[in-house]
Amino acid sequence: MTALSTHVSARERRRYHSTARAVLRLLPEPESWLDVGTGDAHFPGAARELFPYTSFDGLDPTPRVSYACHAERVEEAFVGHVTDPHITTILRARYDVVTLLQDRSPVPDLRAELRAALTLVRRGGLLLVEAPATRSNALRAQLDSWNCPVVATSRHLLGEFPYTHRLVARRIGRAARSAP
């Protein structure tokens, strides 16, 4: 079995807690949470400290998510991409919160990834996205056009530089699959 990365720096732990607190203010007790691109599931492990009764699941294109499930960092592990049709079919409208954090693997089509992620969020649920500052305005406009208003934003450092924007959008409208 491939070993999981167990060390999380103090800086990363603070960042993960800050990300989880952004949701805590808006949805204090989510029932279910999917972390897209979770890898070794360090974020769900840190977020569980603030949300002990929430079921955290992980989705990642690598088998690391299966190892993270075995280590009990996530309850369910899904290997694949959020844009895979079989993933969106089995996970449709299942989660109160879906996170797309900056440290996930780069994707060729962010718009398709957003649309797919929104199909996994229940009506009234939250989508938390971290994006480079240069893409945050376009991201906000895209979410607004899909009737998912941005309800919270923040600007923070992920490393030494550059700044990253964190946007939290609430899914209130029709399913994202009907979006243009």
* Residue 104 pLDDT: 63
* Residue 178 pLDDT: 42
**Mind listing the domains of the chain with CATH numbers?**
10-178 (3.40.50.150)
For the entire predicted model, the pTM comes to 0.87
Please check the confidence at residue 180 and state whether its pLDDT lies above 50. no
Q: Which contacts of 80-85 are long-range, i.e. CB under 8 A and separated by 24 or more positions? A: 81/107, 81/113, 82/36, 82/113, 82/116, 82/117, 82/120, 83/107, 83/109, 83/112, 83/113, 83/116
Amino acid at position 94, single letter: R
Residue 44 tokens, joined: 């769900």
107-149 per-position pLDDT tens digit = 678 889 999 999 999 999 999 998 877 788 888 899 999 989 9
Largest CA distance in the chain: 44
Please check the confidence at residue 162 and state whether its pLDDT lies above 60. no
58-106 per-position pLDDT tens digit = 999 999 999 999 999 999 999 999 999 999 999 999 999 999 987 666 6
* Residue 136 pLDDT: 82
37-59 per-position pLDDT tens digit = 999 999 999 999 999 999 999 99
Of 3-7, 28-32, 67-71, 171-175, the one with minimum mean pLDDT is 3-7
How far, in Å, CA of 37 to CA of 101, rounded? 8
How many Cα atoms sit within 13 Å of 117 on the Cβ side?
30
Beta-carbon count within 10 A of 9 CB: 9
